[in-house]
A and B are shown apart, each in its own frame.
Chain A
Amino acid sequence: MASVLITERQRVPRPWSLKKMVSKNLGLLFVAPALVLFFIFVLYPIFYVFRASLLDWNGVSQGIYIGLKNYITLFTEDRAFKLSLRNSLYWIFLTIFPQMFLGFILAYILNSRIIGRNILRAIFYMPAIISPVVIGIVWQRIFNPFGGLISDIGRTTGMNFLIQPYLADPKLSIFSCISVNVWRWTGFSMLMYLAGLQGLQKEVMDAAAVDGVNLWQRIRYIIWPMLRNAHLTLILLGVIGTLKEFALVFMLTRGGPNHASEMLPTYIFLKAFPLQSMGYASAISVVLLLLALGLTLFLVVVLSARFLFYE
């Protein structure tokens, strides 16, 4: 009896033991490399950009603290900033929805047994992997009113309305950029919808087919609602993708003419580097950051969108 008590007592864990702490938290060691990089290149920059946004600063010399003055200028006097906010809105709606719509139709068609479907899938997905720099230069040529593809087609067929300065006209430029972006990401939506379609229970589809529901009803009332998670993932990725779009617009128009196709990232670049006002550009960055966090948190928390919809 006594011996049992003694062994029991020995087994009582000491309140603090280094060995136990280490073995219990071994996982932290595994996560450490990722976290270290995260702290240096993501978390610290967030604090950095908030602090820099309160400075009058050219990026080289010591900055001068000016409080919220950058933000006041930004929201009261800056026309280019307003244009870039407006263009972001256009971009979000006019990219995400056409790209989802076309992507869904392609996925629906290419999910059936059709000849050459793997080649077709690859063709539609290809723009998503090509560098936006390449895409920008190629489409710049296509849009060129002098010898560009669209205008040449207009000239040869007599459809003269096709001859337009697509990128140089302030009314058209942002929409031209957006249409290139739809071209770029439709294949990606198609791939997501293909994954979603293949995840649908076959029984549901068969039952729907037997019940004498026609094709339109089947898509509208059964398939489309069942792909809710795919829709949400595409909207989430579309919103973030819009807010970080830089290279495509930069190569196509540099945000011009006269800021007509300016996006927040191109405006950050313009202010921070060619114009050397890093404090002001940091204030734009903070607005972009809050916009991105707000929109994605809304999508993730309220609508429960996920980055991987099949998780």
Chain B
Amino acid sequence: MVYASKQRQVFGKLLVCLFLIIMVLIWLTPVIMMLVVSLMPPDQRAPGLGGLLINKVSLFNYRMVFNDAPVIRYFRNSLIITVPSVFLVVAFASLAAFAFSRLNFFAKEFWYYLLMLTLMLPLPTLIIPIFQINKSLHIYNHYLGLILPYTALGIPFAIVILRSFFSQFPKDIEDAARLDGCSPVGILWRIILPVSWPPLSVVIIWQFMISWNEFFLAMVTIESNDIKPLTLVPLIYSGQFMARPGAMFAILTLITVPIVVVYLFMQRYFVSTATGGALKG
């Protein structure tokens, strides 16, 4: 009897291992394929086995991409769009989340739920209006035409995350600070924000990812190649690099690396917030 259950346990473990191996293969193969094709040498016409086999590793495609396409410029454009939007979301959402969790003011609930409306709207429904609004505000074909909408669309989710963290903050400490003459801004800046790294890191990763990867609005509101972000690059060069999958995949790799780096860099906070929040019940 004991022996039988032991046998079953071993069988169960094998099943789990098999499942994990298959899943890892499916999840990893496309990423590996992207890297392999991007490292294909110039004399090979097509990679073998659907893009997994190459004759030798070569950096030719990367050199070609850097020579033929101003990758550095697109990269810089992406940063010019992403960094301010992350910064503005963090600043405006912290202020708002602080007010929603610690202050009282006129029609507070109403404003909160109004802002939350954003979370229920798919961006494509707003594409036409934002396209036209950008034109009338003269920010069409301009970095601001992406920075401001990305910020507006990112703030509500950031408020949800920050508010739930801020409202756990003990009232006593806040009262003590107020008695010592600390203003509300001081309480937020000196007392609450310094201990809010976990939720702030979630907001930063999330907003960075949204702004870095956004495609639809960028495609329809940015016309000149000079200011296009990195996500539009495959579209610009799809004709030119049609016969050179290696070059295209080198571009794809270059788009992917920064976001993976940001994720790995902040991942520790990211997972612990999700779990820390859950522990609360």
Q: Which residues of A approach B to under 8 Å, CB–CB? A: 24-28, 30-31, 33-35, 37-38, 40-46, 48-49, 52, 59, 102, 105-106, 109, 120-124, 126-127, 129-135, 137-139, 141-142, 147-153, 156, 183, 186-187, 191-192, 194-196, 198-199, 201, 215, 240, 243-244, 246-247, 250-251, 264-265, 268-269, 272-273, 278, 281-282, 285-286, 288-289, 292-293, 296-297, 300, 307-308, 310-311
Give bound CA distance, A2 to B209, whole Å.
69
Q: Chain A interface mostly helix, strand, loop or mixed?
A: helix
Q: List B contacts of A48 (CB < 8 A).
A: 128-129, 132-133
Q: List B contacts of A195 (CB < 8 A).
A: 274-275, 277-278
Give bound CA distance, A209 to B117, whole Å.
43
Q: Is B65 an interface residue (CB 8 A)?
A: no
Q: Of B30, B52, B155, B259, which contacts A138 at CB under 8 A?
A: B30
Find out whether the CB atom of B51 lies under 8 angstroms from the CB atom of A45: no
Bitwise interface map of B from 5 to 39 toward A, beta carbon under 8 Å scored 1, else 0 = 00000001000100110011011111101100100
Q: List B contacts of A147 (CB < 8 A).
A: 46, 50-51
A–B Cβ pairs within 8 angstroms, 11 of them: A26-B184, A43-B117, A46-B121, A122-B264, A122-B267, A183-B27, A201-B281, A243-B124, A250-B216, A265-B216, A293-B120
Q: Which residues of B approach A to under 8 Å, CB–CB? A: 12, 16, 19-20, 23-24, 26-31, 33-34, 37, 46, 48-52, 91-93, 95-96, 98-100, 103-106, 108, 111, 114-115, 117-133, 148-149, 151-153, 155-157, 159-161, 164, 184, 209, 212-213, 215-216, 220, 231, 234-235, 245, 248-249, 252, 255-256, 259-260, 263-264, 267, 271, 274-275, 277-281
Q: List B contacts of A296 (CB < 8 A).
A: 119-120
Residue in A131, A142, A196 with the greatest tally of chain B CB atoms within 10 Å: A131
Q: List B contacts of A30 (CB < 8 A).
A: 95-96, 98-99, 103, 184
Give bound CA distance, A149 to B20, whole Å.
21
Shortest distance in angstroms between A205's beta carbon and chain B's nearest beta carbon?
Answer: 14
Task: With A34-B95, A131-B255, A152-B49 as known contacts, state yes or no: A240 contacts B120, CB within 8 Å.
Answer: yes
Give bound CA distance, A43 to B155, whole Å.
14
Find out whether the CB atom of A38 lies under 8 angstroms from the CB atom of B128: no
Q: Of B105, B129, B255, which contacts A25 at CB under 8 A?
A: B105
Shortest distance in angstroms between B171's beta carbon and chain A's nearest beta carbon?
Answer: 16
Give bound CA distance, A142 to B212, whole Å.
25
Find out whether the CB atom of B31 lies under 8 angstroms from the CB atom of A126: yes
Of all A-B residue pairs in the complex, the 10 with the closest CB atoms, nearest first, are A149-B50, A199-B278, A244-B122, A45-B129, A27-B105, A265-B124, A27-B103, A30-B99, A41-B152, A27-B99
Q: List A contacts of B279 (CB < 8 A).
A: 198-199
Q: List B contacts of A27 (CB < 8 A).
A: 99-100, 103-105, 108
